[in-house]
Every structure is written in structure tokens, then in C-alpha cells.
Amino acid sequence: MDLPLLFAFLQAVLGVVSNNTLSQSKKDSALSYLALLGEVVKAKGKINDALKLLTDRINSGEALTEADFESLKARSDKAHKTIQESGTIDPPPTE
């Protein structure tokens, strides 16, 4: 995480947890920002776990099997479908 992002993050958090000097819209922005950061952290954790599994498998020297290929393809197909279909859903109405 780079320093400007960390600074903005801490600023946002301090704004939320301190007193009522921030306007409601700024508090909402800070909360959205926190929610986004939460998603980023969760995503990085998932990626790290997956990459570690792959690396361990490669380092083990174990031969690849048909089951490995099937599993990779099935998981990719499922994720691909979710990603592409997410673009066809109408966004919620804004105020």
C-alpha cells in the first residue's frame, strides 16, 4: 500500500471515528471508502492464498492430471460467467 493511499485511508477513518465535525456526506464517503478498502483486503487475501497453492503445487514437482485441468477450467468458466453476466444487470437507480 503506498503512502498517499494510506494517508487518505487514515484521514477517512479518523473522520468517521472522531466527533461530529464532518458533514454527513463526507462521513458517507468515508464509509464507502472503508467498505471499498475492506473489499480490496479480502480480494488480496484470496489472491495470496490461491497463488501460494499454485506455487506449492509447482514446487512439489507432482505431475498434472486430467482432474487438475478439469478443476481449473470449471472454476475459470464459473468466474467468467459471473463477471460477464454482472455487466448485464441494470444498475440500481440513483437519487
Partner 1 sequence: MRSLSSNRVPWLLNLLGIVAALVTLHGCVANPLAAAKTIDQKAYALYGTFMAFEEVGATIVQAPAVPEVVKAAIRKADRIAKPVADSLLSALKQYVVIQQQLAVGATTNDKLAIATANLEKWVRDAEPLIQDLVKAVGGK
Q: Is 1 in the site for partner 1 (CB under 8 A)?
A: yes
Among 7, 25, 63, 67, binds partner 1 (CB under 8 A): 63
Q: Name which of 23 and 40 has its Cβ closer to partner 1.
A: 40
Provide the 10 A C-beta neighbour count for residue 30: 20
Q: Which of 7, 23, 52, 67 binds partner 1 (CB under 8 A)?
A: 52
Contact between 26 and partner 1 (CB under 8 A)?
A: no
Element (H, E) at 11: helix 3-17
Q: What share of the chain is helix, strand, coil (3-state, %, to 5)?
A: 75, 0, 25
DSSP state, 87?
T
- Neighbouring CB atoms inside 10 A of 27's CB total 14
Residues in touch with partner 1 (CB under 8 A): 1, 13, 16-17, 19, 32, 34-48, 50-52, 54-59, 63-64, 66, 68-69, 72-73, 75-76, 78-80, 82-84, 86-87, 91
